[in-house]
Chain A
Amino acid sequence: MTEVKQKRSLTNKSKEEIAGHIFILPYALAFLAFITIPVIMGMFLSLTYFNLLEAPRFIFLSNYVTLFTADDVFMQQVIPNTIQFAFFVGPIGYMLGFFLAWLLAQVPHRARTILALVIYSPSMTAGVAMSVMWRIIFSGDEAGYLNAVLIQMSVIQEPIQWLTNPDYLMPVMIIVTLWSSMGIGFLAMLAGVLNINQELYEAAAIDGMSNKLQEIFYITIPSMKPQMLFGAVMSLVATFNAGSIGVQLSGQNPTPQNAGQLIVTHIDDYGFIRFDMGYAAAISVVLLIMVLTFNYAAHKLFGERD
């Protein structure tokens, strides 16, 4: 009798398991078709010479050898640029996202919704804003907004080429990316801040916590670790993938003197301008490894062990 009962419960359990698998099947299939297979194909292509016309020819690690030993632009400009860009946009954008989310949590509900939408919208409209706003603000003739204002205030005598002068391109790229970086990670952090149990703050106040800064470090951040992790991963991925910004701003790929050349632009250059798909695939594999490494670090930092 007991044996039969156990058997039934087992079949129930496996039935549930099958149902669960069926439920995730559509997503699993989409993930397989659009993520896994392309990644594996990219890895395969990175070992070949492929010019889009002829069939890929297997050349083993030659692409990687060229990438690390002979590609001056990659080693001297793309990697330093990417690190510089990631250093500013990643951590600063992330801290800014958290800071804005925390600030928003302090304002009343109705105003908060409107402000959250205002801060979130740049991340959705970045493409449109690029052509109607940033390129006009930073336009290099005296009719560009920024130049016109600076000339009027007699700060500069002649227009500055914000987008084609290598000295200015990178700072402009960083500003524009920061402006549009309050995306889904920011929303998650806002939700995280709002979900913290208010009793914790009251208890802490009774125990002698005296200022907001202490509240942030001892209550807010520890209570929203999952959202912090999500935000970190999102900002990491966005930072490494935000490569085309320099090309959009300067209107040319490669950017003037490679000043705004990031890994993604370098991939675009090789893949879609020089049609060296195998080599482009090799760079993208390197990018994948970099993103994975930083993700791993983010998990170490914010992840919970369970």
Chain B
Amino acid sequence: MLSASLDSEAVIEAMTLMTDLYTVYALPLEVGSFYNQFRYGNIPIGIGDFGMYIQLLHAAPEIAGLWDIAPLPGIELNGEVNRSYDGASTSSMIFKNSTKQDEAWTFLKWWMTSSIQLSYAENLMASFGPEYMWNTANVEAFSQMSIDRTHRDVFLEQWRWVLDTAKTPASYMLEREISNAWNKVVYDGFNVRTAMEDSLVLVNKEITRKMMEFEFIDSNGQIIKPYLLPTKDNLENWVSKDD
């Protein structure tokens, strides 16, 4: 509970691949503007987000129709290419102290329905133009949106692979320490395992600090209340229990 698995064999292997791409295979470390470089044909291929997709679709008319999108590259695992990628997400919540909990719940239920999400997205595009394409998180609504059919299928395929690490109060430390470890290996020539083990100490320290702050453990490391890691399984348990 108080330890990140940064020194596990799988993580080290993944990190080695991540750094080898730059140290051994000389991938460009920084691209000033992928949008421009791609337009001029200097860079033939790249990984971008939804914003980049919209930009290329609407602000690069000179290469319209000359490019296409595909699901992210991945690693072959058990005969299938694993394209897992993290997805930043936002969520809605209702405060315990609120006096309008029922209204809020009704509103959220209404707002999350596929038809409302779909009509919101369509209305945005209809009133402001197609560049206001809005990607709803509602899969059903997204699959009905009036966008390029083949592109939509690519998005839906990639959607199956959205997988994020479980967020904890100290998650931010995990992210910055992985970045630092990467930075150390790529710029300063550190050994991957050494860099990761240095990072692990700092991450674990922060996890302990946060667990103490939110009173999951006391200052001697004794558990006060159990901390349930919000993994995919746990989240699905919570949702299905109430529904």
B176 touches A254 (CB 8 A): yes
B178 to chain A, nearest CB (A): 12
Interface status of B183 (Cβ within 8 A of chain A) = yes
Q: Which of B150-178 contact A (CB under 8 A)?
A: 172, 176
Q: Report Cα–Cα, A131/B180, bound state, in Å.
A: 24
Question: Which of the residues B26, B28, B37, B183 comes within 8 Å of A256, measured between beta carbons?
Answer: B183
Q: Which of B172-220 contact A (CB under 8 A)?
A: 172, 176, 179-180, 183-184, 187-188, 202, 213
Report the interface size for chain A: residues with CB under 8 A from the other chain. Answer: 23
Interface status of B14 (Cβ within 8 A of chain A) = no
Report the interface size for chain B: residues with CB under 8 A from the other chain. Answer: 17
B32 touches A164 (CB 8 A): no
Tell me which residues across on chain A come within 8 A of B172, comparing CB atoms.
273-274
A162 nearest in chain B by CB position = B30
B36 nearest in chain A by CB position = A143
Pick from A134-142, A213-221, A238-246 the stretch touching chain B.
A134-142
Q: Report Cα–Cα, A166/B180, bound state, in Å.
A: 10
Interface status of A36 (Cβ within 8 A of chain B) = no
Tell me which residues across on chain A come within 8 A of B30, comparing CB atoms.
139-141, 159, 161, 163-164
A257 touches B31 (CB 8 A): no
Give the A-B pair count, Cβ closer than 8 A.
Answer: 45
B188 touches A141 (CB 8 A): no
Interface status of B10 (Cβ within 8 A of chain A) = no
Fill in one digit per residue for A109-122: 1 if any B CB lies within 8 Å of its CB, else 0. 00000000000000
A276 nearest in chain B by CB position = B213
What is the interface of chain A mostly: helix, strand, loop, or mixed? loop
A259 nearest in chain B by CB position = B183
B74 to chain A, nearest CB (A): 26
Interface status of B228 (Cβ within 8 A of chain A) = no
B37 nearest in chain A by CB position = A143
Tell me which residues across on chain B come within 8 A of A257, comparing CB atoms.
180, 183-184
Question: Which of the residues B32, B184, B188 comes within 8 Å of A143, measured between beta carbons?
Answer: B32
Q: Report Cα–Cα, A254/B188, bound state, in Å.
A: 18
A292 to chain B, nearest CB (A): 30
Q: Report Cα–Cα, A140/B27, bound state, in Å.
A: 12
B33 nearest in chain A by CB position = A143
Partner-A contacts on B (CB < 8 A): 26, 28-32, 37, 172, 176, 179-180, 183-184, 187-188, 202, 213
**Supplied contacts A256-B183, A256-B187, 19 more A-B pairs, CB within 8 Å:** A72-B202, A139-B32, A140-B29, A141-B28, A141-B29, A141-B30, A143-B37, A159-B29, A161-B30, A163-B30, A164-B29, A165-B187, A166-B187, A166-B188, A252-B179, A256-B179, A256-B180, A257-B180, A274-B172
